[in-house]
Chain A
């Protein structure tokens, strides 16, 4: 049994122009001590998946289908009170996008990291010791506890947010674009820290990003999501080494390579509006290899053990995705 099992998750938002199904039947597992990357563009449903797991969806959003099991417990069935006591921050903790801007500017860092422990009734001396320990785990000196957020750099603030998420020793960390506001060299430092936490403390991670290259720096498994659905799911080797879905292939080809002089290809167009009924495959509007069957929605095929893709071409009897699908280069 996996640490986290998500099955057919569906999340809807009420909007002025009708319901928007941001997550539409997403399933994945996160094994203990492993990292799963959820890769997608803005609006693909990756952040909605995470906030649904943490029960932090905005007011107009709700889970309308599917199950979420953490360590065997169906966390969707818990009362809000039980969810707070057993799951949020304890069973899994989340580091938010741009989280370093969410530190309270007039509170010392140590007070913020220890706030949750104090409110749980832990004695002050113990809280201080724990805060020092947590700061140490993320590579910050214990004296950081006495400093104010404005005295810290962006990278240090993000370390503080990670320390804060580790407070209750959760077996699972959800990381939503944890490095997107940081410089490359600081990003590499934070990614190394996450690697250490994963390797040394066997913390499982759900890593949410739009950047496949960055995901490859941490993730054992990768789920590529598009328009609320999983397009491709498999080991990092499968998805990055032999991508099956045309969307994954295009996404990979669109990354400018540092070493390879071949220019990046690009993915024209934009994802579909999820408020409208979409017949057929959701990628057809941008796909370079559309053919007749695409008028109907393809299932998520199991290609080989654990490698899945949602494309008629790679299913049984399908013609395959031609390698020479012409990448769009400079016109």
Chain B
């Protein structure tokens, strides 16, 4: 499916917002959160640039599964490190092991449902962390209400990941054309929510 001018503008805006977040949005945090957020928004930025260059064809690449894992995993690690001090090491271990498991199950010819199971567990935990943690922190007053927008972004990244995963698995929830029509807008809204959430929170 050919990319429209609107799609291109939305993707460019997503890339610019990701760049903005890397440059000014995460200043003043600790080393691990800064590294984690830089990896997350950096992967998003490079992915958007490649999508601008290659069009939607880039979604057919096998690397998409890995990139779409890096973004939520790194975001979740940054959030957990900042706000769940007692689970820091555990979450870091989960991130490293989860990422390694996805690379291994996607690189080697595994039979059965193990690759899908690994993907679902890793994405599920990371997605829930990004959605629930900011929402709870904003609701109980630990963070300002605006921080809930990060959770909203988390819900959108979950939706985007779901749409892409099923599309890649050959069992799309929606027709491919519909998914591709929705995706640029979803990416832009998701990134805008993250940027606004971090700023207002």
Determine if chain A interacts with chain B. no
